[in-house]
Structure 1
Amino acid sequence: MRTPVAFLIFNRPDTTKRVFEAIRQAKPFKLLVIADGPRKDKPDDEKKCADARAIIDRVDWDCQVLTNYSDSNLGCRRRVSSGLDWVFSQVEEAIILEDDCLPHPTFFRFCEELLDYYRDEEKVWHIAGTNLTPISDLKSSFLFSRLVPIWGWATWKRAWQHYDIEMKLWSKYKHSEDLQYFGSQQQNVYQVFEDNYHSLVDTWDGQWAFSCVAHQSLSIIPKTNLVMNIGFRSDATHTKGKSKFAYIPVRGLDFPLVKPLNMIPNQEFDEKFLSFLNDSEFSLVSKIKQFIRKTVL
């Protein structure tokens, strides 16, 4: 596979190994690995982080491996954002996987083909691997959306350059009529962005979602769910315990891909997806954290 893969790891060698094996099957010619450092108050972290990094040494195919490892713990917000800044200082486009996002084999081809096809389409910023609420009668292989799922995704340097961890546009955007697009979920979307703006959660992806939404860009959502989250457990940073979002089955796509007839966001899907995220077993605070960190806006 000619498309570079960015792999974000931390302190879970077992999930890291499973996702690494999926990457190994795809055999990318370039692998860029981002790792956070051990936490000072967690004595086991040093060994766990080392064990996770050792898995990268198992690359046994023709592959250029680049690493960006932090000696200290930066946390999700600073480590992922700085790591992806580094990735896009090295390459023009990439497929991005975290250590708990296990992809179906067709995920890689899906991303690679669409990265190539929409490379010069300025309106498209994000290619997602996650679809938690598939539309059964969808005729095309994917749809366009205003949402930004990050359980396995891909993008271009041209889009990532707009990422702003401080969300400087929020103070103006939150008064715009564009939020009305999200219909009955408008207040939930507002609250997620407001909490991100005030750094109430140590996260990076709410800021990416906001950058995409504020610029009215389009995301691509596959017809089927292509990535399973295997990270919901007690040692997770944010996704602790049981959840309806965990271990959602994956199903591969058929090729050649069938493209939508037009490049218009599917508002029905977006409201359905957001409703699914918010109709959960979690309290409001937990939902916001879950929503921001690991599912998306």
Structure 2
Amino acid sequence: MRTPVVLIIFKRPNTTEKVFEAIRQAKPPKLFVIADGPRADRPGETENCEATRAIIEQVDWNCEVITNYSDINLGCRLRVSSGLDWVFSQVEEAIILEDDCLPHSTFFQFCDELLDKYRDDNRIMVVAGNNFQYGRVRNQDSYYFSRYNHCWGWATWRRAWQHYDHQMKLWPKIRDEDWLKDILLDLSAVKFWQNIFQYTYEEKINSWAYAWTFSCWIQNGLSILPNVNLVSNIGYSLEATHTVKNYNDFANMPVGSIDFPLRHPLFMIRNSQADLFTQRNNFYDSRISVVLQQKIKHFANKLSN
């Protein structure tokens, strides 16, 4: 493979070791490692962070390893976004994995080829490894185009990441002028994402990913999603920052192999049927409202203490 790989780690050596082994099998020529620092009030976290970072020392193939380790805890939103700013200040494109995103071996070639094919096509913002269609095949090609930039194993270019704004400065204008209606064309989806973006803007949700979705949407950007799931999130546990329920539908989803040579779509039209299914099954109020309320309550308690 040709593309640099970015591995984002924190304090989970068990999942990190599995993802690292997948990267080792792919043998990228360059490996960027982004690590957040331990929280002082969490017993044992310093040791877990050190054990996780030690895994990176096992690189045994011809590879340039470049690390960006924070001594302090920056939190998910700032650590990931600042780390990717650092990566894309050095390279034009990269494949990105977090410490709980375990890819199938064909994920790397899938990203490698599509990063090359769409390198100069500003319509495409993301190449992702996730498929949440639960066996529904949306076309006879290897992938389809979507508005959803799933981020459990993905790839992008500097030209796309330059649009990322973790402060979401344009959100008040988008919100107040009802631009989400033009983007989503569905009032229930608009309501859902208005809440998500507002909470993220107010930093009541510590998420870089929602800010990235917002950045992609206001550029009218498309994502490439495979017709088979290529990455499984193995991190649903009490140790996780966000994925804490191990009975979630997304936990440990099976992965499959994608065939090569890839079958490319003959035209670039977003698959609205697939996106509607994703919105209704992955992103709807009754599914996550309790989680959002818990996050907001936790945030409020922190402010009052």
Same fold (TM over 0.5): yes
Q: 1:54-73 residue pairs with structure 2 within 5 A?
A: 54-73=54-73
The answer to whether 1:5 aligns with 2:9 is: no
- Supply the distance in 2 between the matched residues of 1:180 and 1:127 (Cα, whole angstroms): 20
8 Å Cα contact 2:192/2:285 also seen in 1: no
Shift of 1:184: 4.2
8 Å Cα contact 2:3/2:95 also seen in 1: yes
Worse overlay, 171-180 or 105-114: 171-180
Match of 2:198 in 1: 194
Deviations 1:18-54 (A, max 9, x none): 0000000000000000000011111211110000000
The answer to whether 1:246 aligns with 2:247 is: no
- Supply the distance in 1 between the matched residues of 2:23 and 2:121 (Cα, whole angstroms): 27
Q: Would the alpha carbon gap of residues 287 and 206 (structure 1) be closer, same or farther in structure 2, given more than 3 Å must change?
A: same
- Supply the distance in 1 between the matched residues of 2:186 and 2:219 (Cα, whole angstroms): 15
- Supply the distance in 2 between the matched residues of 1:204 and 1:126 (Cα, whole angstroms): 15
Percent identity, aligned pairs only? 53
* Aligned counterpart for 2:274 among listed residues 269, 273, 286: 269
SS at match of 2:229: coil
- Supply the distance in 1 between the matched residues of 2:138 and 2:93 (Cα, whole angstroms): 31
**Letter of the 1:264 counterpart:** I
**Letter of the 1:229 counterpart:** N
Deviations 1:139-187 (A, max 9, x none): 1100001111000000000000110011111112222242343564222
Worse overlay, 147-156 or 233-242: 233-242
Worse overlay, 61-70 or 173-182: 173-182
8 Å Cα contact 1:36/1:73 also seen in 2: yes
- Supply the distance in 1 between the matched residues of 2:294 and 2:128 (Cα, whole angstroms): 20
- Supply the distance in 1 between the matched residues of 2:154 and 2:294 (Cα, whole angstroms): 20
Match of 1:87 in 2: 87
- Supply the distance in 2 between the matched residues of 1:111 and 1:69 (Cα, whole angstroms): 26
- Supply the distance in 1 between the matched residues of 2:46 and 2:34 (Cα, whole angstroms): 16
Give the CA RMSD over aligned residues: 1.7
8 Å Cα contact 1:146/1:219 also seen in 2: yes
Match of 1:294 in 2: none
8 Å Cα contact 1:132/1:248 also seen in 2: no
Shift of 1:57: 0.3
8 Å Cα contact 1:183/1:271 also seen in 2: no
Match of 2:303 in 1: none
The answer to whether 1:45 aligns with 2:45 is: yes
Deviations 1:266-295 (A, max 9, x none): 1111110111114698551316889xxxxx
SS at match of 2:127: strand
Q: Would the alpha carbon gap of residues 40 and 273 (structure 1) be closer, same or farther in structure 2, given more than 3 Å must change?
A: same
SS at match of 1:94: strand
SS at match of 1:79: helix
Worse overlay, 167-176 or 15-24: 167-176
Match of 1:169 in 2: 170
Match of 2:239 in 1: 235
Match of 1:293 in 2: none
- Supply the distance in 1 between the matched residues of 2:170 and 2:48 (Cα, whole angstroms): 38
8 Å Cα contact 2:138/2:144 also seen in 1: no
**Letter of the 1:194 counterpart:** Q
Deviations 1:87-122 (A, max 9, x none): 101110000000000000010000000000000001
Match of 1:124 in 2: 124
- Supply the distance in 2 between the matched residues of 1:84 and 1:288 (Cα, whole angstroms): 29
The answer to whether 1:143 aligns with 2:144 is: yes
Shift of 1:2: 1.2
SS at match of 2:8: strand
Worse overlay, 175-184 or 150-159: 175-184
The answer to whether 1:159 aligns with 2:150 is: no
Q: Would the alpha carbon gap of residues 68 and 279 (structure 1) be closer, same or farther in structure 2, given more than 3 Å must change?
A: same
The number of residue pairs the alignment matches comes to 290
- Supply the distance in 2 between the matched residues of 1:48 and 1:281 (Cα, whole angstroms): 35
- Supply the distance in 2 between the matched residues of 1:262 and 1:195 (Cα, whole angstroms): 36
* Structure 2 unpaired stretches of 5+: 296-305
Q: Would the alpha carbon gap of residues 288 and 169 (structure 1) be closer, same or farther in structure 2, given more than 3 Å must change?
A: farther
Q: Would the alpha carbon gap of residues 82 and 169 (structure 1) be closer, same or farther in structure 2, given more than 3 Å must change?
A: same
